[in-house]
Each structure stands twice: as structure tokens, then as C-alpha cells.
Amino acid sequence: MTPLELRRQVRDGHFRLPTAGYCGVHAQANLVILPQQYAADFLLFCQRNPRACPLLAVGTPGQWNLPALGHDMDLRSDVPGYNVYRHGELAAQPQSLHEWWRDDLVVFAIGCSFSFEQMLIDAGIALRHVAQRRNVAMYRSSRANQVAGPFGGEMVVSMRPMKAADAIRAIQITSRFPAIHGAPVHLGDPALIGIADIARPDYGDPVEIMADELPVFWACGVTPQEAIRHARLPLVITHQPGYMLVTDIRNADLAAF
């Protein structure tokens, strides 16, 4: 299935699954959609926090396609699930945005770790949460984001346990891809980034860390979702976690070198 074929199945209501594992050669994206009056501040927030919020594309007000990300794209219907927040509270989980769309909405597409997970697996690095078909473990860290307007909060990190040699290789591989969170932000002792109990993630599923493994932490695309929820804007729309926008961009084309 090509990304376009997948998006058309989503648009037609025939695909309502998490997108992990589909079109693995192509980048998937986090979506943030908010009114134009907050767009400049959110753009600045992404610029100031590039590890957590690597921007793949930004639309103009009312623009519901992003040609840079894919052919024949309709962001009002091409994502298998949306979350609508009003004043920071989840208000609806529609399957399309047609009745929510407004001409002042601005779309932000943010790089997603699914891309680098595929590359790690291709490099022979086992990812336990993938093997166990669970969600990656995510934690609110003590690292304050750089504030822009109403957007602030702390960096959310995803954690993957690895042997040291795999961690070193994973750093090399992910460093090539700043557009999909880039290199890890931490490895080793979780307490050093404010994580008190590694067995209890704030999001996703816990994952076992073996005696010969280190926890390796990447900046996570949940960071901007947290920041916008805490900003309590009258309206914000995102994808549902795990139900991503599948783009036409090849992951390999996102390599910085």
C-alpha cells in the first residue's frame, strides 16, 4: 500500500487503525491544528524546542492540504482519528474534521519517532515495545521547554531500553535525522532528568529494562500536545496518539547527511 492509497482508505472510512507499521519507508507526522491567532506563538515554540517539535510543514490559515508532505492530501479526513480540545479538555474524537473546520485553522505537521524506529529495526536493533506490540513508554521530564506565548511546560521523553553497543549505534543513526527528533537527549540514570519511577510511565506502556541495558531517552512528539493542552486554548485539534498522518516523504530523504 502506498501512502496515498492508505490516506484514501482512511478518507473513505475503511482504515481506522494505529498507523505504526504501515508504509514504514515513509515518514509519519504528528498534527497540531489551532486558530491563526495562536499560530505565530506556536511556530515560535517549535522553533525554540526543535528536539521535541521538529516541524515538517506548516500550512497557511484555512489550508487543509500540505503539498510538501503528500499528493492529494486532505488533512480534514486523511488521519484515522482526531482529538478536539476545548480549553484544554478533550471535547470530541471525530473521524473527520469536516464539521470542525474553520478558515482560520493552521496545520502544523511535526516529525514522528515511528520513522527512526523503523530505521533502528532495519539496523538490527531490537525494540522491545515493538516486539511486544505495545506503545512506547513516555515520561514527563524535569527539562523545561523554552516558552513562547502561552506554550511552555516540560519536555516529554520516550524511552527505549538498549544494550550499550545498540545505544551507541542508535545515537549514530538518529543523529542523522534532526527532523524526527534527532539524537537522544539522555541515557542512563532516569532521576537525572526528573523521572522518579521508570516502571511507571506518564504515557504509553511500561517496558522492562534488562540488567545489561540502559534506558535511552528521546524528545517526544507528545511534548507539544502537552504544551497546547496546558495553554487551554479555546480550540485545538490533534491526531489521536498513534493514529498519525502518513506522508509521501521517504524517511531516508530526511537525513541531514
Span from 2-10, 113-121, 186-194, 241-249 in contact with its own copies (CB under 8 A): 186-194
CA 78 to chain centroid, in Å, comes to 16
Burial degree of 172 (CB within 10 A; 0-12, 13-18, 19+): exposed
Tell me the C-alpha distance between 160 and 132, whole Å: 13
- With CB under 8 A as the contact rule, which of the stretches 65-73, 93-101, 103-111, 184-192 interacts with its own copies? 184-192
Site for its own copies in 196-235 (CB under 8 A): 212, 214
- Contacts with 236 (C-beta within 8 Å, 6 or more apart), sequence order: 32, 33, 34, 84, 85, 228, 229
- Using the contact rule CB under 8 A, the part of the chain among 14-22, 104-112, 181-189, 231-239 near its own copies is 181-189
The Cα–Cα gap between 81 and 17 comes to: 9
Residue 96's φ and ψ, nearest 5 degrees, are: -145, 165
Applying CB under 8 A, which of residues 161, 184, 204, 224 lies at the interface with its own copies? 184
Q: Is 164 in the site for its own copies (CB under 8 A)?
A: yes
Tell me which stretch binds its own copies (CB under 8 A): 19-27, 63-71, 183-191, 202-210.
Answer: 183-191
CB of 192 to its own copies, least distance (A): 6
Q: Which three cell numbers stand for residue 126?
A: 531490537
Helix H segments across the chain? 3-11, 36-48, 114-122, 128-131, 164-175, 222-231
Query: For the CA atoms of the chain, what is the radius of gyration?
Result: 17
Which of residues 40 and 123 has its CB atom nearest to its own copies in the complex? Answer: 123
Q: Which stretch binds its own copies (CB under 8 A): 16-24, 133-141, 163-171, 238-246?
A: 163-171
Largest CA distance in the chain: 54
> Which of 21, 62, 188, 234 touches its own copies (CB under 8 A)?
188
- Asked if 248 contacts 26 with a C-beta cutoff of 8 angstroms, the reply is yes
- Contacting its own copies (CB under 8 A), which of 4, 44, 91, 171? 171
DSSP tag of 190: G
Judged by CB under 8 A, the residue of 129, 160, 186, 239 near its own copies is 186
**Residue of 46, 185, 195, 207 interacting with its own copies (CB under 8 A):** 185
Applying CB under 8 A, the site for its own copies has a residue count of 18
Distance CA 164, CA 101 (A): 47
| Cβ distance to its own copies smaller for residue 59 or 161 | 161
Under a CB-based contact definition with an 8 Å cutoff, are residues 254 and 27 in contact?
A: yes
Of residues 89 and 212, the one with the C-beta less far from its own copies: 212
Among residues 211, 253, 24, 36, which one has the least CA distance to residue 122? 24
Q: Please identify which residue in 65, 96, 175, 240 interacts with its own copies, judged by CB under 8 A.
A: 175
Contact positions vs its own copies (CB under 8 A):
164-165, 167-168, 171-172, 175, 183-189, 192, 212, 214, 257
